[in-house]
A and B are shown apart, each in its own frame.
Chain A
Amino acid sequence: MTTANENAVAKYKNNFLKEVEATVEEGHWVKMCMQCGVCAGSCPFGPHWEHSPQKIFMMIRAGKREEVLKSDSMWMCTSCYNCMVRCPRELPITHIMHGLANYAYRLGLSPKGQPNQAIAKLFWDSALKYGRVNELKFSLAMYFRDGFVQGVKNALAMQSVGLGLVKAGRLNPMEIISGHTCKDTSGIHKMIAKAREIEDRRRGLA
C-alpha cells in the first residue's frame, strides 16, 4: 500500500506549488506573494525559525517540497496574526502556515517531537474528547509528554504557579476526575469524524 505522501508525489510530480494550491488551506494564495519580506520582520518568533514565511513561499515556488514540509518554521507560529495584517498583498499568511503544518503533519513529514506540534495535538484531543478543553488534563498531558520522570519535573517546576491558581479559584483540581463537558460529546465525535472524512477525500489523504 502506498502512503499518502507517495500518492501526492506521484500525483503532482514536481509541481509543488500546484500540490500546495490543491491540498493546503488557503494554499492558492502562495503564488501571490511578492517577496517583500514584511512577514519575516513581523514575527515575534522571528529569531527562532529557519525559514521565514517569505522563504517558505519562495521554496514552494522553487519546488523544494521536502525542505518545506520538514521545516520547523510553520510550527513556530504563535497565531499572533501580525504577518497577516501587515502583508501588503493581503495573503492570509497565518492560515497558510497553519495549513502547511497540518499538511506536513498528515503526510508524516513534519519534524518529530516538535514541542509546538505536540501541544497543538494535545489541545485538539482535549477539546474533542469532552467537547471543551480541560485545562488541567491538558497541562498535565503537556508536562508528561516527554515521559513520566520529565513530567514530574515539569510539574514540580510549575507547582507554585499551579497552587496559586488553585488558591485563586482559577484551576480546579477536581477536574482530574470530572471536568466541564458537552452533553452531546458522541455527536461531536461523529461530526468531526465526518468533517475529517470529507476533507481527507478532497485533499487526497483518504
Chain B
Amino acid sequence: MGLFVAQLLTGLANAAALFLVASGLSLIFGVTRIVNFAHGSLYMLGAYVGLTLMNTLPGAFGFWGSIVLAGLVVGLIGILIEICVLRPIYRAPELFQLVATFGVILVIQDLALMIWGAEDRLGPRAPGLKSVVRILGEPVPQYDLALIAITPFILFALWWFITRTRIGILVRAATQDREMVGALGVNQSWLFTGVFFLGAALAGLGGAIQLPKGGADLLMDLNIISAVFVVVVIGGMGSIPGAFIASVLISVLNVFGVAYIPQSTLVLIYVVMAVVLTVRPYGLLGREEKAGEHGQVGEVERPIRPVGTRGRAFVFVLLVVLACVPFVGSSFLQVLITDILIFCLFAASLQFILSSGGLVSFGHAVFFGGGAYAAALLVTYADTPMELALLCAPLGAGLLALGIGWFCIRLSGVYFAMLTLAFSQLVWSLVYQWGAVTGGDDGLVNIWPSAWLSGTTAYYYFTLAVGVGGILVLRHIIHSPFGYTLRATRDSARQAEATGIDVKRVQWLAFALAGTMAGLAGGLFVFSKGSIFPNELEIGKSFDALIVVFLGGVKTLSGGVVGAVFMESIKDWLTRLEYWRLILGLVIIGVVIIAPDGIVGSLRKLGERIGLLKEQESMR
C-alpha cells in the first residue's frame, strides 16, 4: 500500500513538467494552428538556461527565481522563432509549418551543443527541499510534493487567464476565426506572438522545474516531444484541462508501468492512446476539427502530366548510366548507389501518399522498418529463403499499414499526422522492448541474401531493378484512375464524396499501398545491410523521409526521388562537419520560407523562365 501511494505521488510529480510543456503546445496550436515540433527544444533550453542561472544566483530565492527567469528567457526565444520562422508561413499548408519547426529543432540542438557542451548535466537540488518525507513508510522526495502542490496552481492560473481576461477571450476567439478577430480591430500578429511567448515560456518553465529530478541533456528535446504529443492527442488539441488530465494519466501510468511491467512501459502508453483515440478521435476534451482550413502557398496546384518524350529519354539515359556503374565504379560507389536507390523508393512511397493523397504521414518509417523486420524475423526464426522473405516484407508492411490506416484515416490534417506518429512509436516501442523476439536494441543480424545475389554487383543490379520498378509502379498508379480518384479526395473530399467516391476507402487503400512500397524498400535494405535495428523505424527516420520529399518539392512527382538522391549524396560529407545539424536546420527553414517549391519545383520554374521548358497551361 505504501509503495503504491509513493508511486502514485512520483507519477503526479512527474506530471508537472509534462503538463507545462503540453499546455504550451496546446495553447500555441489552438490559436496559430501550428503544431510546434520544436516545443521539446524549448523545454530543453529551459533546463539549460535554468541550470546556468541556478549556478549564478544563490539560495532558495535564486533557485525559484532561476526557474521563473528561465521561463521568461525561453519565452523571448519563442518570440524570436515566431517572428523569424513562423510569421512568413502562417498561410502555408501544415506540412511546411511542421517541417520548419523541425528545422528549428536541429538549429537549437547544435546551439545547445555549442553553448553547454555534450556532457549531461545534473540539476541542483532545491534549497530547503532536499530531503525525503516518509509517507506510509515509503520515502517521498520533498521536491516531488512541492511539484504536486504547484501544478494545480499553474492549471488554475492558466484557466483564469484563458477564461477571465480580455486577452484570454481574444485567444479563444482567434482559435475559432482569426480573420474575424482581425476584422474587429484586433492585431492578430501580436496576439499570435503573445501566445507563442506564453507557450514557449511554459515549456521553458517545465524544463527548469524538472532540473532537480532530471537534469539537462541534449536528448531531452526529442525524448519529451513524443510524450507531449501523446498527452495532447489524448487530452485533445487546444484543451488545457485535457492536457492536465492526460499528463497525470500518462505520468502515473508510466511509473506503475516501470514498477510492474518494466518490459512494456512504452507499449502500454501507446496502447492507452490508441484506445482513447478509437473511442474519442479528437481526444478526451478535444473538439472536432473542421477539415480544409489550410490555404495554399504560392500558385495554384499544377495539373500532373505523364513525362514527355524528353523526360523519358532522360530517365532512360540515367538508367543506362546506372547500369554501367559496376564496370567503371568502385564497389564503394555501388554500395552508395544501392543505399540511395533504397532510400529513393522509400521517399517515393511517402511522396505518393503525401502529394497525391494529401495525407501527411509522420510515421512512415514504421512501414520501412516493418517490412525489414518482417523479412528479418522470417529469416531468423523460420529459415525462410531470402526470395520468399523479401516478398513478405512489402506484404507485412502493407498489412501493418492497413491496420494503422484503419485508425488514422478517420482523422485528417494535423490529427492524422500526430496519430501516424504515435502509431509508429507504438510499433517502435514494441520492437525496442520485446527483446526476446526482436533482439531489442541489439537488432537482428545475419540476414543475408541468397548466394546468387550475395555479390555487391549482383545485389546492386537487383536493387536497381526492384527499386526503379517500384518507383515506376507508383508513378503509373498516380496516372491511373485510382490515382485520379485519390487526387480528387485530396483536392476536395466533400466534392469527391458527392461524386460517389468512397473517400475514406480510397485513402485507406492508398495509405496501405504507400506502406507496401515502403516495406519493399525496407526488405531491400535489410538484405543489403545484413542486419536491422530499431532505429530504422524511429521518428528520426520518418523525418528524414519527410525532409527529403520536402526538399525535393512536395507538389511534384519526382521530388521524393530527387530529394533522396541529393540528401544521401551530401549526407556523408555533411555529417563530417561538427555543426551539420545547424546548417541543415537553417537550410530547411530557408527552403520553407524562400523556395517552397523545393528542388524540382524551383528547377522547373527556372527552366520555364529561360525557355528550356514550355510553360504549362495552368488551371484557373
Is chain B a partner of chain A in the same complex? no
